[in-house]
Structure 1
Amino acid sequence: MDNRTNFVKVENLAVGLTGDQLFKLFEPYGDILEITALSPTSVVVTYMRRSSVDSCVMLTNNQPVIGNSRLRVESFYPKQDPSFNSSSVLQGLGRNIGINEFNYDPSSFVPWQGETSNCKPAVAQPSGASTATSSLSAAQIRNIVIGGPYSNLLGTYCTPWTIPSPGEDIPDCSICLDVLGQRSSYNIYSDQLRSLTLVDCKHTLHQSCVEKLIAQSPSQFLQCPECRKIYGTRTGTRPISGTISHTVLNISLPGHPNSRTFQLTFNFTAGIQGPEHPNPGKHYSASNFPRQAYLPDSPEGLKALHGIYLAWENRLMFTVGQSVTTLQVIYTLYNT
């Protein structure tokens, strides 16, 4: 038996969806030939290509829809349905398969009103014919939930990317350098097959790539790899045993003859590595501390001083690692 089919059966739909709304739900997976109502909450979608059925079943099943109901989606074989011999609806499925240049008109969808209401055959539209569009967006038709392990961060600072219209260039993801999505495979509702647009800088990345980027960071923040803009609060791995202080010296730094000098002092003591460090539970040393740094007492120097204190509070100034000069296994380093 051929286990491939052009039909997808969708159950547990919200009651009252229009043909335009259903078209927007299922068109991302491939060219639709028909949408036929089987009941008030179920339809059969007929695709031009069988590969579209596989994509629809894999990517759409169990995704949230309007009213918080969840779709049940499966490949459908009309002739294997027990009611096929007595159902004119099932017997009429697939009438548009093989018609070249067919263009489905969502306005031709007939909602379920009983067995006889769905016997009207769809009229083939010539290639390029306009189709009716709903005033509702895809996001309004179906709740787009950004899931995954970093859903809070991504849901706050990202929106689902909208695939360009046919003929427009599709940009590459700046992390993996692969295209952001193709109409045949891209799914705005799938965490792993969706791209996300950052809300401020508008750069777009694969969600799966963004998740890997966040996973490599010591804290949950997102930095755009193109423009370096930071979303969320970036924190580092500075050992908590350190201290910072500064004083003002009545001397001038080279190049700043009319300014006094800020002297910053950083101090650390040896300690135990935390879970954010390379070897949790092991000792680290703190050689050659305290250390000093100098800034001019000028508007620019004062701004830099505030930035240093902010970086210190966010644990960005130092980290635990291996010294390349002393070859000690554990050493307190500047965190670049």
Structure 2
Amino acid sequence: MSEENASVPGVPRSPDPGEGHCIICMDNILEKRTLEKCMHSFCVSCISEVFKVKPACPICNTFYGDYVGTQPHNGSMQVTRSWERLPGFESCGTIIIDYHFPAGIQEASHPNPGRRYAGTSRRAYLPANEEGQRVLRLLQRAFDQRLLFTVGTSATTGLSNVITWNDIHHKTNMQGGPVCFGYPDPGYLSRVQEELRLKGVTEGEPMDGAYPGES
């Protein structure tokens, strides 16, 4: 097996190169590789290049291995709980998540390597019910995989070289509805789980004990 073949985990060799169409290069498949989970096929060179950036099928986004993002390494995620009720979830308390990132220096994966980025603190809320607990576990995994934040330009302030959310939406207010990034919002927990799934974050074996940083 060539080095190109070995660079794609879990991909069996196909005996029929040249058959089919590759959506990456938009041409006939020259040397076919079929992904074992989703069974989508591509040129081996095309899918090898895609996997260097993101180890996921470009058709269905099925992940092969863990996807690690560009979130700064120096952040923390603290979890506490409150008796207060969120609108729409009056039968349970509230999970409070505090993220903190001090200022730092941008890495090679950031827009301006070597330049400083500003620090930030963010607070988010989840209902303390079964589904909220599930989302918390997924968010913890996403944080550990450096997927929740990145460094870039803020969509709200227009400032560059700052820490921004990375397409996984949080509720940063307890009230006010979707317009104010708060509750009630009946579809939020389902939407955020789909956003996490698209980044390869799904629930596997249950985590025992308290989450890291929980008090």
Select which of 12, 20, 23 maps to 1:174. 23
> Could you give the per-residue CA deviations for residues 239-296 of structure 1, whole angstroms, max 9, x where no partner exists?
012111111110121221111110111111111011222222111112xx32111111
Q: Supply the distance in 1 between the matched residues of 2:46 and 2:90 (Cα, whole angstroms).
A: 50
Select which of 64, 70, 95 maps to 1:262. 95
Q: Supply the distance in 2 between the matched residues of 1:146 and 1:199 (Cα, whole angstroms).
A: 18
Does the 8 Å CA contact 1:246/1:264 hold for their aligned counterparts?
yes
- Structure exhibiting the larger radius of gyration computed from Cα positions: 1
1:160 is paired with a residue of what secondary structure? coil
Q: Supply the distance in 1 between the matched residues of 2:11 and 2:17 (Cα, whole angstroms).
A: 18
> Could you give the per-residue CA deviations for residues 54-109 of structure 1, whole angstroms, max 9, x where no partner exists?
xxxxxxxxxxxxxxxxxxxxxxxxxxxxxxxxxxxxxxxxxxxxxxxxxxxxxxxx
> Could you give the per-residue CA deviations for residues 171-198 of structure 1, whole angstroms, max 9, x where no partner exists?
32232332224xxxxxxxxxxxx12111
Q: Supply the distance in 2 between the matched residues of 1:233 and 1:323 (Cα, whole angstroms).
A: 27
Match of 2:64 in 1: 231
Percent identity reads 33
Matches within 5 A, 1:76-225: 145-148=1-4, 151-154=5-8, 156-163=9-16, 170-181=19-30, 194-215=31-52, 217=53, 221-225=54-58
Alignment RMSD: 2.0
> Could you give the per-residue CA deviations for residues 206-254 of structure 1, whole angstroms, max 9, x where no partner exists?
1221133234x2xxx5101122110011100110121111111101212
Q: Supply the distance in 2 between the matched residues of 1:303 and 1:257 (Cα, whole angstroms).
A: 18
1:164 CA drift (Å): 8.3
Match of 1:308 in 2: 139
Change (3 A) 1:267 1:330: same
Match of 1:298 in 2: 129
1:317 CA drift (Å): 0.6
2:140 is paired with a residue of what secondary structure? helix
Q: Supply the distance in 2 between the matched residues of 1:161 and 1:327 (Cα, whole angstroms).
A: 49
Select which of 253, 259, 265 maps to 2:86. 253
Q: Supply the distance in 1 between the matched residues of 2:15 and 2:90 (Cα, whole angstroms).
A: 56
Q: Supply the distance in 2 between the matched residues of 1:197 and 1:146 (Cα, whole angstroms).
A: 16
Does the 8 Å CA contact 1:161/1:204 hold for their aligned counterparts?
no
Q: Supply the distance in 2 between the matched residues of 1:153 and 1:304 (Cα, whole angstroms).
A: 32
Paired residue type of 1:241: N
Match of 1:64 in 2: none
Q: TM-score, normalised by structure 1?
A: 0.47
Change (3 A) 1:301 1:267: same
Paired residue type of 2:108: P
Match of 1:17 in 2: none
Match of 1:243 in 2: 76
Paired residue type of 1:302: Q
Q: TM-score, normalised by structure 2?
A: 0.71
1:159 is paired with a residue of what secondary structure? coil
2:92 is paired with a residue of what secondary structure? coil
2:21 is paired with a residue of what secondary structure? coil
Aligned residue pairs, count? 167
Q: Which has the higher contact order (CA 8 A, sep 6+)?
A: 2
Paired residue type of 2:3: G
Paired residue type of 2:98: T
2:3 is paired with a residue of what secondary structure? coil
Paired residue type of 2:34: T
Return 5+ residue gaps in structure 1 as ranges: 1-144, 182-193
